[in-house]
Structure 1
Amino acid sequence: MSVTIRPAGTGDVRAVAELVEEMDRFYGEAEVQPLDERLSQVAQALFGSPPLACALLVEDEDGDLVGLASYAFLWPAAGSTHSLFLKELYVRDAFRHQGIGARLMSELRALAAARPGCTRIEWMTGRDNPGARAFYRSLGFVEFDEKIVYRIEVP
């Protein structure tokens, strides 16, 4: 199967919002945000001033969205450099195990390498997500145990 990987554009907001709902359900969310709220938040996150994130989208031969990688650049990383932080890598179930995730990771590496001062790519996955962990190991990535993630909900 042939797919195209490209940056998200303003015309992609609805398709990305629909994929976000699918991702939430995949990760076990019981309540899904209403579509109008998702549309607004996707538009603001990707195309607001300033944008909060960037996204690479994967389209199949019919132009349907089948995956995405959302990321942002964070500072500081090592010293005064910055890193590309991958927040989400998602490929629809029917398109997994076809090399799409590996292609997305390769594209992210190229984006990071092309950006002056970017010294690394970082991301997280859940300890209870053996599929993701096996995928990253298959690409030769090593897990690090030295960080603890904290989270607090903001009202």
Structure 2
Amino acid sequence: MTVTIRPADERDTMALAQLIEEIERFYGTTEIQPLEERRAQIQGALFGSPPLASVLLVEDEAGDLVGLAAYSFLWPAAGSSHSLFLKELYVRDTLRRQGVGARLMAELRALAAARPGCSRVEWMTDRDNPSARAFYKSLGFAEFDGKIVYRVDTGAV
């Protein structure tokens, strides 16, 4: 199957809200945020002023969204440089193991390399996600064991 990888634009907001529900269900979430709330949050996060994040979308031949890579630039990274931080990489199960995820990763690396002062691409995956860990290993990426992740909820939705 042929797919197109492209940046998200405002016309993608509703389809992206639907894809995010698919992602939530993939991770086992049972309480799904209402579609209109998701749509409004996506609108603000991606197209607000200033935008909080960017997204590369995977679009299939029919024009349906079948994957995404959501990322932000973070500062500081090494020294006074910045990094591209990949927050979410998702490809619909029917397209996995067909090179789509590898293409997304290559596109992210190219975006980072083209941005002056961006020194690296960083991301995390769950320790109990052997498929993701095997995917990153197949691309030649080594696991970094030096960080501990903390998270606290703010109570905001």
The whole-number CA distance in structure 1 between the counterparts of 2:139 and 2:121 is: 14
**How far apart are 1:8 and its partner, in Å?**
0.2
- Superposition TM-score, scaled by structure 1 size: 0.99
- The reply to whether residue 135 of structure 1 matches residue 149 of structure 2 is no
Q: What letter is aligned with 2:74?
A: L
- Superposition TM-score, scaled by structure 2 size: 0.98
The whole-number CA distance in structure 2 between the counterparts of 1:5 and 1:30 is: 29
- Match for residue 27 of structure 1? 27
**How far apart are 1:30 and its partner, in Å?**
1.4
The whole-number CA distance in structure 1 between the counterparts of 2:101 and 2:129 is: 15
- The reply to whether residue 104 of structure 1 matches residue 88 of structure 2 is no
- Match for residue 117 of structure 2? 117
SS at match of 2:132: helix
Which structure 1 segments of 5+ residues have no match?
none
- The reply to whether residue 69 of structure 1 matches residue 74 of structure 2 is no
SS at match of 1:17: helix
- Match for residue 51 of structure 2? 51
The whole-number CA distance in structure 2 between the counterparts of 1:92 and 1:86 is: 17
The whole-number CA distance in structure 1 between the counterparts of 2:117 and 2:11 is: 31
SS at match of 1:70: strand
- Match for residue 2 of structure 1? 2
Q: What letter is aligned with 1:35?
A: L
SS at match of 2:79: coil
The whole-number CA distance in structure 2 between the counterparts of 1:96 and 1:36 is: 29
Could you list the runs of 4 or more consecutive aligned residues of structure 1 that deviate by over 6 angstroms after TM superposition?
none
The whole-number CA distance in structure 2 between the counterparts of 1:43 and 1:100 is: 25
- Residues 102-142 of structure 1: per-residue CA shift (max 9 Å, x gap): 00000000000000000000000000100000000000000
CA RMSD, Structure 1 to Structure 2 (Å): 0.4
